[in-house]
Chains A and B, each alone.
Chain A
Amino acid sequence: MMDYTYTLFIPLVPLFVFLILGLLGHKMPPIVAGLIGTLGLGLSAVLSYFTAMNYFWTSHVPETAYTSIKGFEVPWLHLTEKLTIHLGVLIDPISVMMLVVITTVSLMVHIYSIGYMKGDPGFYRFFSFLSLFSFSMLGLVLATNIFQMYIFWELVGVSSFLLIGFYYEKPSAVAASKKAFIVTRFADLGFLIGILMLSFNTGTFDFQTLTNPHGPAIAQAGGVAFMGMSVLTWSLIFIFVGGAGKSAMFPFHIWLPDAMEGPTPVSALIHAATMVVAGVYLVARLFPVFALGAPDALHVVAWIGGFSSIFAAVIACTQTDIKRVLAFSTMSQIGYMMLALGVSGYGGEEGLGFMASNFHLFTHAMFKALLFLGAGAVIHAVHSNEMGDMGNLRKYLPITHITFLIACLTIAGIPPFSGFFSKDEILAAAFKDNKMLFAIEYIVAGLTAFYMFRLYYGIFWGKKTHYHHTPHEAPKVMTIPLLILAFGSVFAGFLPFHNLVTSDGKGFESHIDWMIAIPSILIGVLGIAIATVMYKSETAIPDKMAQSFKHLYKWALRKFYMDEVYLFVTRKIIFRYISMPIAWFDRHIVDGTMNGIAGITQYAAYSIKGLQSGKLQQYAFVFVSGTVILVLIFVYLV
């Protein structure tokens, strides 16, 4: 049995970097801060690759299942016999995969940020927050029990808040960071309720005990029923609510578009590749419980994922801010991942959806980070986020152009890029389980290709040749991560995921089902073709289409008025009918009681004050009458 204690350093190195940069960063020249951050992440990345090599190949006995190993665990908070919270490191296929994803993307973002954030007065602060985030995310994926995961979940939320609101002098950025934190915190309420219900009914927090298919946990909790569904189902639905908040699933998605107020490397790291997949990771982590104990919860997961993906795809077709398009694209792709988990079964071939979801998570991290970093390079060159200010950039930004194109082809699902392989597996899993969901996802695949290429043509083609100053290609420190991520996007599809990451640890035979693959390639090509016709050269077709579908266009442009709905609910209903009475109660009754007590004390003091009047005869009078009364009581009445 391999000793995995060294994995403890994978999250701890970024934590030390955060502390060093946070406390001493203002004293060092910015480039040193950047280098310290990057080197720390680099060390974590090397350790992660080493762990992956070890776990998946070197120390693995062939033909056996991959088991989950606790690399390290200490009891942290011991309250009672049953209620003990441990902190530790759990090594199993999905956590090792996530280690590789997180450290790779974070390292790329670090290198990129050295160039992108150059000259910003908060340079060292940025790197310290990035390290904090890396620490939190790594701790989340390595959690051995659900409570540790909750702790790091909240830490990730805090890091996201700090990073979205990085430009804290911009009111829109501050508002966006607050929105993100509050919405995810609200969803985390559901998460906490779910945790408590689950652990109360199964008696444990620990993942290994909970997810043991032969263990007592699933059967135990599955027995108790409440309002038609078992307690286990209820608790898993609540836990999924928490995951939906972090992963920007409908209806908790409202924070993701606004989170684009943060610097672009932040969007690449947090809101594309790592934090938003935390919800997917949560469901994957608890997947045996979902699949074996509460299949109804899996239905909820699948349908919410499916709905979110088509919802986001429709909106993305109309947005003009390039980062917003990418944000909705992220929401759509995560919907894919959730759906894949939702239609999956457990064990061997049945677990195709599980494998496909994780595969897509892996590839999506690569190409979405690439897309965001490329968008960052474009924004860096043009100094604007709007598509209207861009055009014809393929002449000025060659490397960015090529890498962006590769990423767009990947997301559209064109072979031999990695996106094709992962999306195909998801479609195959959906087709086997639920034809309706398959149909939705099929349409979304087409829409994805369409809006991504609309974006691509809008940025890099078209006739715009007037720029205030000629846009220049990004410096090497920014383009090298683009190239590395492009390399990953192209070749990651060939990884044998069906042997490495499966629902029960055992590998299974998998092949490309051409019955599904060919239609998906076709609809991808169709989407690209329509986009080419409409957007490659500036034509009047988009405007005419917008005119004919006027209402749908307006609704999609306004993100289906979800923000307005939320504002209405909070302002008119919650504020007026719940918050204001509570505020009135607090001000008048609670404060009134306190003031009343103080007032009574003051009044009593004023009244008693008279006893100390300084008048000798008054004192003597009290003395005499008191003595008389006391004598009366003690001699005659007692």
Chain B
Amino acid sequence: MLNEFMFILIAVMILVFSVLTVLTRKILRAAVYMLFVLISTAGLYFMLSYNFLAAVQLTVYAGGIVVLIIFSILLTSHLSERAVMAPFKQSLFSALATLAGATLTLVTILRFSFVPNVGADPNFNITDVGNALVSYNREGYALPFEVVSILLLAAMIGSIVVAKKEPTLRDKEAKTDK
């Protein structure tokens, strides 16, 4: 009972806030709605008793990415300005495509009968997860871990280089004056 209630609450929150994210005109509100979506998703993970995963979701997504987005909003636009929405024709066609895709996917999913596994359900705790992360036997995920770390390094360096401020003409003049 409680399970279903919680599940329905979380599901409704996810859906409502995601719809609001894509439809609202004010940008900062869209960022906040997205934050709520992410938190609800983390709640979903808690329900599935993947605690570590939920924690990571909250930390990285809700804490890191949303903050990043808010910073960039503040850097690049006038907050009070209402965003211009797309012309009607574009929204219509996009809605049609989306609806078609959604119908297709839903029909496919619902017709397929997934047989749930009724076997043992070892609740993994954080120690098991940690061990699996750095071990390099058959059940270990050391290699993906290392690869992702390289990816993160590259992304960091890349974003710094891309966002670096080019010296403007005034700076150049100032340099040569000296």
A and B touch in the complex (CB under 8 A): yes
Residues of A with Cβ closer than 8 Å to B?
Answer: 617, 621, 624-625, 627-628, 631-632, 635
Q: Which residues of chain B from 81 to 110 have a CB within 8 Å of any chain A CB? A: 86, 90, 93-94, 97-98, 100-101, 104, 108
- Taking a contact as CB atoms closer than 8 A, the residue among B86, B97, B108 that contacts A625 in the complex is B97
Whether B97 lies near A628 (C-beta < 8 A) is: yes
- Output the nearest chain A residue to B101 by Cβ-Cβ distance: A628
Min CB–CB distance B162 → chain A (angstroms): 18
Whether A624 lies near B97 (C-beta < 8 A) is: yes
Chain B residues within 8 Å of A617, by CB: 86, 90
- Output the nearest chain A residue to B86 by Cβ-Cβ distance: A617
Min CB–CB distance A238 → chain B (angstroms): 74
Min CB–CB distance A264 → chain B (angstroms): 85
For the complex, what is the distance from the CA of A617 to the CA of B98, rounded to whole Å? 13
Chain A residues within 8 Å of B100, by CB: 625, 628
For the complex, what is the distance from the CA of A176 to the CA of B97, rounded to whole Å? 78
- Output the nearest chain A residue to B90 by Cβ-Cβ distance: A617
Min CB–CB distance B98 → chain A (angstroms): 8
- Taking a contact as CB atoms closer than 8 A, the residue among B97, B98, B104 that contacts A632 in the complex is B104
Min CB–CB distance B92 → chain A (angstroms): 11
Whether A621 lies near B97 (C-beta < 8 A) is: yes
Given contacts A621-B94, A625-B100, A628-B101, 5 further A-B contacts (CB under 8 A): A621-B90, A621-B93, A624-B98, A628-B104, A635-B108
Encode B61-77 as 1/0 by CB contact (under 8 A) with A: 00000000000000000
Q: Would you mind naming 8 contact pairs between A and B with Cβ atoms under 8 Å apart?
A: A617-B90, A624-B98, A625-B97, A627-B101, A628-B97, A628-B104, A632-B104, A635-B108
Q: Which secondary structure dominates chain A's binding surface? A: helix
For the complex, what is the distance from the CA of A624 to the CA of B97, rounded to whole Å? 7
- Output the nearest chain A residue to B94 by Cβ-Cβ distance: A621
Chain A residues within 8 Å of B90, by CB: 617, 621
For the complex, what is the distance from the CA of A625 to the CA of B108, rounded to whole Å? 17
Chain B's interface size range is: 10 to 19
For the complex, what is the distance from the CA of A631 to the CA of B104, rounded to whole Å? 9
- Output the nearest chain A residue to B100 by Cβ-Cβ distance: A628
Chain B residues within 8 Å of A625, by CB: 97, 100
Chain A residues within 8 Å of B86, by CB: 617
Min CB–CB distance B42 → chain A (angstroms): 28
Chain B residues within 8 Å of A635, by CB: 108
Min CB–CB distance A486 → chain B (angstroms): 101
Whether A624 lies near B108 (C-beta < 8 A) is: no
For the complex, what is the distance from the CA of A625 to the CA of B98, rounded to whole Å? 8
For the complex, what is the distance from the CA of A621 to the CA of B90, rounded to whole Å? 9
- Output the nearest chain A residue to B99 by Cβ-Cβ distance: A628
Whether A624 lies near B101 (C-beta < 8 A) is: yes
Min CB–CB distance B148 → chain A (angstroms): 26
Min CB–CB distance A408 → chain B (angstroms): 101
- Output the nearest chain B residue to A627 by Cβ-Cβ distance: B101
For the complex, what is the distance from the CA of A624 to the CA of B108, rounded to whole Å? 17
For the complex, what is the distance from the CA of A290 to the CA of B85, rounded to whole Å? 96
For the complex, what is the distance from the CA of A621 to the CA of B104, rounded to whole Å? 17
Chain B residues within 8 Å of A624, by CB: 97-98, 101
In the complex, which of the residues B97, B98, B101 has the most CB atoms of chain A within 10 Å of its own CB atom? B97
- Output the nearest chain B residue to A622 by Cβ-Cβ distance: B97
Min CB–CB distance B135 → chain A (angstroms): 38
For the complex, what is the distance from the CA of A444 to the CA of B172, rounded to whole Å? 108
Chain A residues within 8 Å of B98, by CB: 624
For the complex, what is the distance from the CA of A6 to the CA of B90, rounded to whole Å? 90
In the complex, which of the residues A617, A625, A635 has the most CB atoms of chain B within 10 Å of its own CB atom? A625
For the complex, what is the distance from the CA of A621 to the CA of B93, rounded to whole Å? 8
Min CB–CB distance A556 → chain B (angstroms): 89
Chain B residues within 8 Å of A628, by CB: 97, 100-101, 104
Min CB–CB distance B111 → chain A (angstroms): 11
Min CB–CB distance A467 → chain B (angstroms): 94
For the complex, what is the distance from the CA of A595 to the CA of B101, rounded to whole Å? 44
Min CB–CB distance B63 → chain A (angstroms): 29
For the complex, what is the distance from the CA of A628 to the CA of B86, rounded to whole Å? 22
For the complex, what is the distance from the CA of A621 to the CA of B101, rounded to whole Å? 12
Chain B residues within 8 Å of A632, by CB: 104
Chain B residues within 8 Å of A631, by CB: 104
For the complex, what is the distance from the CA of A621 to the CA of B94, rounded to whole Å? 7
Q: Which 3 A-B pairs have the closest CB atoms?
A: A628-B101, A625-B97, A624-B97
Chain A residues within 8 Å of B101, by CB: 624, 627-628
For the complex, what is the distance from the CA of A2 to the CA of B69, rounded to whole Å? 108
- Output the nearest chain A residue to B98 by Cβ-Cβ distance: A624
For the complex, what is the distance from the CA of A627 to the CA of B98, rounded to whole Å? 11
For the complex, what is the distance from the CA of A617 to the CA of B97, rounded to whole Å? 13
- Output the nearest chain B residue to A626 by Cβ-Cβ distance: B97
Min CB–CB distance A606 → chain B (angstroms): 21
Chain B residues within 8 Å of A627, by CB: 101
Min CB–CB distance B24 → chain A (angstroms): 18
For the complex, what is the distance from the CA of A635 to the CA of B112, rounded to whole Å? 13
Min CB–CB distance A633 → chain B (angstroms): 11
Min CB–CB distance A414 → chain B (angstroms): 107
Chain A residues within 8 Å of B97, by CB: 621, 624-625, 628
Min CB–CB distance A632 → chain B (angstroms): 6
Min CB–CB distance B37 → chain A (angstroms): 21
Min CB–CB distance B36 → chain A (angstroms): 25
Min CB–CB distance B22 → chain A (angstroms): 13
For the complex, what is the distance from the CA of A628 to the CA of B107, rounded to whole Å? 13
- Output the nearest chain A residue to B108 by Cβ-Cβ distance: A635
Min CB–CB distance A12 → chain B (angstroms): 79
For the complex, what is the distance from the CA of A632 to the CA of B101, rounded to whole Å? 9
For the complex, what is the distance from the CA of A49 to the CA of B100, rounded to whole Å? 100
Min CB–CB distance A415 → chain B (angstroms): 110
